Amino acid sequence: MQLGVCYYPEQWPRAMWADDAKRMAELGITHVRIAEFAWSRMEPRAGEFAWQWLDEAVETLAAAGLKLVLGTPSASPPKWLIDAHPDVLPVRADGTRWNFGSRRHYDISSETYRRECVRIVAAMAQRYGRHPAIVAWQTDNELGCHETVPSYSAAALARFHAWLRQRYETIGSLNERWGNVFWSMEYPSFEAIGLPNLTPTDANPIHLLDFRRFMSDEVASFHREQIDVLREHAPAADLLHNFMGFFTTFDHYRFAKDNALDVAAWDSYPIARTESIALPEEQKARYARTAHPDVSAFDHDRYRAIGAGRFWVMEQQAGPVNWAPWNPVPARGMVRLWAYEAFAHGAELVSYFRWRQCPYAQEQMHSGLNLPNNELSPGGLEVQQAAREIANCAALSKLGKPARAATAVVFDYETQWMFEIQRHGKTFDYQTLVFDYYEALRELGLDVDIVSSRADLSAYRLVVVPSLAVIDDAFVDQIERSSAQWVFGPRSGSKTDAFAIPGNLPPGALQRVLPMQVLEVETLRPTLTPALSIDGTEGTALHWREHVRANRETRVVAQFDDAWPAVVALGTVRYVAGWLSHALHRTVLQQAASDAGIETQLLPDGLRVRRRDGLSFAFNFGAQPVHAPAPANATFVLGQARLNSGDVCAWQDA
């Protein structure tokens, strides 16, 4: 369990650096990330490098015993670069360009910009790549943030043509696969294809999907160019990127694999995230100061898989932020709790954003571990407490890797893209559906791995697939070989790879193990509420419902009040034919867990648990004191069973 901080020496007088470094070390911080936005100071004019300040900053921090994470500055190209190459600015869907004057103002497909990035990264890496204090490099910053991907530029179009040519080989095959006979959309050549923006009504969904697939590959290949340079000059360092929470613009599994990342890092702003995602208003209100109990855990569990077991929190909320619709001060204890929560889910490092609140420019309303006058902030005091607790407890400071959970939730980026392109009803959102299932599993006290549909699923006892748009034979092979319980949600197997309805109707290839067919689907305005009850739990379908025909051997486990099947099952496979109200999802999962021999326990409101390396952690996100589900004779290494709001405890497993 190590603590870090994000620091911007270029924003403060040099006279402060040594004292900052000393105070960081005294606080218990081991890692400091620097430089990811400092291009204009590293290279004030084209080709003219000014390393002296950065040398001094690196040496000052290293002299205090701190380990460094050095950021490449490609998220903030300086003005001279934009003036020399204005076509580096990205193009929005409406055809206009973003301006200079903030950050992320670059087109990921611009060959000029790609060259410029390789140049600055090579210059940095040659200078600092073998510095013993620099243990890791962060590439760029939050790829895709601020909606700068996709870019609808001429550069993107040219590269899209090449991408399509490689995928389809002939224009005839593209026309066929895309179904371009519809509305006379047939193209005479690859060059004749445009980008899927500015069409009077919907563009062809497969055109939109292929553009998203292409853009996802663009992000990975843009990034790969930096990785190749860093591998050469910084062979011993960990290479990572700081991803975002709830962010699906590119396929993170493929990105991490294509880039051979050592660690998946992500930026965790739980309160701001709770405010900005599609949660019921009642939950946003309830968790306004603690954040929703699953909102960080969801991404901890996702990035653990993306990093093949190794993940860091590169930026952790340290107090109120500046960018959500509302930005409250966190409840007392949360800044400390979020660190333990990340560790319990397997994080190696939790690094707070930022060392000191900056009194000027865009983020002056964003807190840090210090107030602008250099006093420790309330969040800084909580980090001090956590650092002391960890230092004084051997069981906490040396945690081993988290074990594989018994339960997996499959999350799939392409499914997100397909159902965004074709929501069919305005309230259908795939990631929100996945989150609903995940939340239910966590309310039942379970540890969860979030994994790709291409992962090896053979060791899990319960596999939950809230939906998976394309189900191929390889996936069904996994089901046939496994002894797990499988739960599928609506829209599973509803599309082919070419964004069409499978010839044998949904759920496509899943019919091999679950003979049933989806005849019609409907989205539900809030006044349409097909009701049902499962095992005494009452509820309705929301957002989405299917009319399913179950074949003779398939069991109808539950049905709606209008007699359409709601849950059908055969052997170890269940299919849920709608988006059900939350308590019903939980009931279905509880039954499946019980069939899988996994013990569940419904936790009190706001309480969550997580196990790692012989320790069980419990966290209270609720407003009321609760008791952690520890055995009566448990040995606590942190806190005690009674948890006030915002408190955490940990005990040794028997």
Confirm if 448 and 606 have CB atoms less than 8 A apart: no
Pick between residue 323 and residue 599 the one whose CB is nearest to ligand GAL.
323
DSSP 8-state assignment for residue 375: P
DSSP assignments along 59-90, one per residue: HHHHHTT-EEEEEP-TTS--HHHHHH-GGGS-
- Beta bridge partner(s), residue 547: 520
- Select from 43, 116, 315, 436 the one that contacts ligand GAL (CB under 6 A): 315
How far is 349 from 358, CA to CA, in rounded Å?
A: 24
Pick between residue 353 and residue 437 the one whose CB is nearest to ligand GAL.
353
**Which range binds ligand GAL by CB under 6 A, 23-31, 91-99, 137-145, 471-479?**
137-145
The CB-of-314 to ligand GAL minimum distance in angstroms stands at: 8
List b or e across 39-59, with b for residues whose CB sees 16 or more CB atoms inside 10 angstroms.
bbbbbeeeeeeeeeebeebbe
412-to-142, 182, 434, 467, 478 alpha-carbon distances in Å: 20, 29, 10, 8, 16
Does the annotation mark 142 as catalytic?
Answer: yes
**Which range binds ligand GAL by CB under 6 A, 139-147, 523-531, 581-589, 627-635?**
139-147
Give the phi and the psi of residue 540 in degrees, each rounded to 5: -140, 170
Amino acid at 475: F
**Which range binds ligand GAL by CB under 6 A, 126-134, 138-146, 203-211, 368-376?**
138-146
Q: If you compute the radius of gyration of the chain from its CA atoms, what whole number of angstroms results?
A: 25
Per-residue contact string for residues 323-342; x = within reach of ligand GAL by CB under 6 A: x-------------------
Q: Which tokens go with 227? A: 């990785």
The CB-of-184 to ligand GAL minimum distance in angstroms stands at: 44
**Which range binds ligand GAL by CB under 6 A, 141-149, 403-411, 495-503, 516-524?**
141-149
Answer yes or no whether residue 142 interacts with ligand GAL by CB under 6 A. yes
Answer yes or no whether residue 647 interacts with ligand GAL by CB under 6 A. no
Confirm if 469 and 618 have CB atoms less than 8 A apart: no
Pick between residue 139 and residue 540 the one whose CB is nearest to ligand GAL.
139
**Which range binds ligand GAL by CB under 6 A, 7-15, 288-296, 315-323, 388-396?**
315-323
- Select from 174, 193, 306, 321 the one that contacts ligand GAL (CB under 6 A): 321
Per-residue contact string for residues 232-271; x = within reach of ligand GAL by CB under 6 A: -----------------------------------x-x--
* Residue 141 marked ligand-binding: yes
Tokens 């109990």 found at:
293
| Residue 536, C-beta contacts closer than 8 angstroms, at least 6 positions apart | none
Options 36, 43, 116, 142, the catalytic residue: 142
3-class SS of residue 418 = helix
Burial of 359 (0-12, 13-18, 19+ CB in 10 A): exposed
Answer yes or no whether residue 275 interacts with ligand GAL by CB under 6 A. no
Pick between residue 23 and residue 241 the one whose CB is nearest to ligand GAL.
241
Does the annotation mark 315 as catalytic?
Answer: yes
HEC-encoded secondary structure of 160-190: HHHHHHHHHCCHHHHHHHHCCCHHHCCCCCH
Answer yes or no whether residue 366 interacts with ligand GAL by CB under 6 A. yes
* Residue 323 marked ligand-binding: yes
Instruction: With CB under 6 A as the rule, give the number of residues binding ligand GAL.
Output: 11
- Select from 110, 141, 249, 431 the one that contacts ligand GAL (CB under 6 A): 141
Amino acid at 526: P
Options 36, 218, 315, 382, the catalytic residue: 315
Answer yes or no whether residue 353 interacts with ligand GAL by CB under 6 A. yes
H or E element in which residue 409 lies: strand 407-410
Please identify every residue annotated as catalytic: 142, 315
Return residues touching ligand GAL (CB under 6 A). Answer: 141-142, 145, 267, 269, 315, 321, 323, 353, 363, 366
Residue ranges of the binding site for substrate? 103, 141, 323
Annotated binding site: 103, 141, 323
